[in-house]
Structure 1
């Protein structure tokens, strides 16, 4: 594993010194069904993203109207240490709206797959190139930096993508965004397509992955290994349908697996996730990678025993990296080692027979209540065992009325 890690890190580091994450929670994230941020919430999210070290934020879609422009203005006026980017269709009118919002960079997007070009415009590939030649120079003449967004790139012909990249470069773009708009790729196809683009164009390449098949993070990492330097992400993967590649997953994977810098303060990821989840009205699942409450919680007797002996037995990610710590809970799957350790933390040394009796009670209680055992309940089991002679009838889990809330 260390050898593979070093090999991966080395191959990426040869191409670039770091990975740039572009958070689009305020644009693509807000497009999730039922999500509608207030201006105050948008500003708060932008602030916490900036404080966490996110270098680029896609702040919204100015063409939505005056309220959206005002919200983007409010973020821009914060003068945060980030690049604020507006998302635009490949229309001059969208660029005009972006200028009114005060941003210095735009992602001007155009469909590049044959199916979307026909469905949206009733035309073909030449029409997409014509739009780029018209709108990109217009945006550059207005002083805007440009990312050329390739919508539905994952279903486009790669040779045509290279023509799009050449056209974008000739007309002032600095970056091309490869969008897996429908989340149809796997990491192998992603790697192949991005590697081909990297060999065939001199623009910065950004990957924008959707999670319809649960592969957004994997596809993002594959794109980075293949030569992309930028990754589009959202906090907790918030976004349309199944969402996007999560900021927290990509940031941690890039640093922990590849040893590369993203500039993200990993210890602040839980704070960022909490603020976004509350604004979106979405609960964070306990088992959500990186930011879930239970991801460093252990109950299994085998796992707890191993962790007590050597944390590396069952620790792929040191929780301290995220400013967190392990938590061991007692339940149906606990072993004697966990019971003895938990009682030691309460100041009690117990003989093996007592520990076995207490473990029996823990398992019965956990199975009956479908929950874990608190410190107070553990203490009550300990006291009960010492009140009755060992070998007497087995103690029973307390009645529901006697259980702590």
Structure 2
């Protein structure tokens, strides 16, 4: 059975605290969502503001294959704004729990049904497709929920949706709820929130019980604990539910995940399923050995399926098989004695609590193999001007391939300014700065600062470290060290 997917990243996802997307950013996300095969895209809530309406109009003007919706309350004013945006459909949200009807709206159940029916009728009279979503359905009387749905369908609603607004369902109760609604003669979808970490599991249960569509957000972003995670749900359906599938281009999932993370500024936790940086990373020696022999031993799917690549992590748990594979990726061939020596040195370093980065590995290997790389970029000087009324400004003197270069940059802080002064040079164009972490590793105001960064060049991701009493020096040295290693590779 083909399962339809409605993406609400641009509406429910944008309600994540601290997230506010520009019209251009929304269009970029919508374009990518359409490209990878989304069936429905909720482009926003037209009632919100003039800027929101302009964003929705920009999306509806593109002629996407996906059906474009706007969120709407069951009010004529809301629906008129949706019509002004030229959307294909509305996600008509109608509260169905006693709590919402009596305490929020302060109306009777009969008045709620009348309001719902009138709104559906108005939408259909104006040529809109209607998906009627029952807000707080998971805390509603099943009989009343059925009554609202059947009335809406009689008025012409095209689809209905069960919303677990506060994320209280479990996989069992989700299955039971949808199983009790099987007799409804209309497509039925599910919209789950992740307050107890069960949104994906509940969505899969709903699908097994009869839901033919689900709502989700990329990376599971949204209010409070977020929504059903798009990438987790899509991959789970296609890999774990043999009777169901979607039209999503799964190999593009990582790309859309990174795009949304970058534009929203919402960090993806490293251990997040499917798209987290550690999802296909292996350190354990037993695991690495198994993966090298047959990836199915410790991976439920190949990383290439979702546009990823496998990584072997350097650390005290790794064995010689994984280490040898990682060294070969760095272009280093070693014999068994050298391999064991490098492995022992890594474990000794890791036992002291030090994170072993790729740069550390290269230094250890160079020492064992007696290899010295000539760095292409050398830092000669960095100067910072900063203050309450001064935009942080950095000037740097670098030696790049033997040529002395002076450059300057500004930023929101002195570290940002220093990095901007460096990376604005052409040699840094195809290197992305993807992660920054800082720790004070000794006490006091003169503490040693340990900076670890992650850089990416193409499909290569590399970690580098700088440890100095000054956070700016530590950050700059870590960055240049990592870039030198990427350029050598």
* TM-score range for the pair, normalised by the shorter chain length: 0.7 to 0.9
- SS of 1:47's equivalent in the other structure is helix
Deviations 1:142-176 (A, max 9, x none): 11111111000010111111111111111110111
Which residue matches 2:408? Answer: none
Q: CA deviation at 1:122?
A: 1.6
For residues 264 and 323 of structure 2, the distance between their equivalents in structure 1, rounded to whole angstroms, comes to 40
Which residue matches 2:355? Answer: 370
Mapped contact 2:346–2:356 kept (Cα < 8 A): no
Which residue matches 1:256? Answer: 239
How many residue pairs align between the two structures? 375
Relative to structure 1, the CA distance from residue 32 to residue 349 in structure 2 (aligned partners, 3 Å threshold; closer, same or farther) is closer
- SS of 2:30's equivalent in the other structure is helix
Which residue matches 1:109? Answer: 93
Relative to structure 1, the CA distance from residue 275 to residue 349 in structure 2 (aligned partners, 3 Å threshold; closer, same or farther) is closer
Q: Structure 1 residue 215 and structure 2 residue 198: aligned?
A: yes
Q: Structure 1 residue 240 and structure 2 residue 223: aligned?
A: yes
Which residue matches 1:52? Answer: 36
For residues 160 and 100 of structure 1, the distance between their equivalents in structure 2, rounded to whole angstroms, comes to 33
With CA pairs under 8 Å and 6+ residues apart, which has the higher RCO, 1 or 2? Answer: 1
Q: CA deviation at 1:349?
A: 4.4
Mapped contact 2:342–2:365 kept (Cα < 8 A): no
Q: Which structure has more strand as a fraction of its residues? A: 2
- SS of 1:364's equivalent in the other structure is helix
Mapped contact 1:21–1:232 kept (Cα < 8 A): yes
RMSD of aligned Cα (Å): 2.2
Structure 1: any 5+ residue segments left out of the alignment?
1-16, 386-398
- SS of 2:47's equivalent in the other structure is helix
Q: Where do 1:57-76 residues align within 5 Å?
A: 57-76=41-60
For residues 272 and 247 of structure 2, the distance between their equivalents in structure 1, rounded to whole angstroms, comes to 22
Q: What's the TM-score once normalised by structure 1's chain length?
A: 0.88
Which residue matches 1:295? Answer: 279
Q: Structure 1 residue 359 and structure 2 residue 359: aligned?
A: no
Q: Which structure has more helix as a fraction of its residues? A: 1
Structure 2: any 5+ residue segments left out of the alignment?
372-465, 469-476, 483-489
Q: Structure 1 residue 227 and structure 2 residue 213: aligned?
A: no
Q: Structure 1 residue 178 and structure 2 residue 162: aligned?
A: yes
Q: CA deviation at 1:373?
A: 4.3
Q: What's the TM-score once normalised by structure 2's chain length?
A: 0.73
For residues 258 and 213 of structure 2, the distance between their equivalents in structure 1, rounded to whole angstroms, comes to 25
Deviations 1:275-333 (A, max 9, x none): 21122121222222111222111111111111122211101111121122211122111
Match of 2:113 among 119, 129, 143: 129
For residues 294 and 45 of structure 2, the distance between their equivalents in structure 1, rounded to whole angstroms, comes to 50
For residues 272 and 358 of structure 2, the distance between their equivalents in structure 1, rounded to whole angstroms, comes to 23
Q: Structure 1 residue 281 and structure 2 residue 274: aligned?
A: no
Which residue matches 2:72? Answer: 88
Mapped contact 1:266–1:322 kept (Cα < 8 A): yes
- SS of 1:244's equivalent in the other structure is coil
Which residue matches 1:348? Answer: 333
- SS of 1:261's equivalent in the other structure is coil
